[in-house]
Amino acid sequence: MTKQPIYVQYYDSPCGELILASVDEELCLCDWNEKPCAERNKRRLENHTSADFKIDTTAVLEQVKQQLDEYFAGIRKTFDIPLHPIGTDFQHQVWNILRHIPYGETRSYKHIAETIGNPKGVRAVAGAIGANGISILIPCHRIIGSNHSLTGYAGGLEAKNKLLKIEKNDCRHNKPPIIT
């Protein structure tokens, strides 16, 4: 029996190289290449789908690259890519909240925990955010500490800072970022 392929491409962003992967014409990975989190997310993806990685392109991967180009150019504020995140029900609940944080705004881990009805679950929320394998499109970079500090990010704090600056600079003509 032939395993289903997971198609892989690489994208050189202004914040570092991303590994992109699709399965069934849905994006299942957009992660910071050669970082420990990306390796963990690739293993989780491979185990969950029983698939083999194959370097090749798909329509969805080309669409992701185009939309990332537009995002980094300050043209695109939302993504309309079909996503296939791999995780637990709790992780999906947290990631769904992340997807609703508006461009140019930030939220705290505490805010996310309160939103899901578990105000004491800040560490669990942080763990779910850390397991996000679809960076930028599921915008975990928009999560900061309650004291407004930049906290951990799979792509590194420098990449997180750049992403927030891209969005803040683009929003400065509209309204300042909201931090809650």
Amino acid at site 69: D
Q: Which helix (H) or strand (E) holds 110?
A: helix 109-115
Q: Any residues with CB less than 8 A from the CB of 43 and at least 6 apart, and which?
A: none
Active site residue: 28, 37, 140, 171, which one?
Answer: 140
Read off the tokens for 20.
């992109």
CA dihedral 119, 121, 126, 127 (to 10 degrees): -160
Active site residue 15: no
DSSP of 48-75? HHT-EEEE---HHHHHHHHHHHHHHTT-
**Residues with active-site annotation:** 140
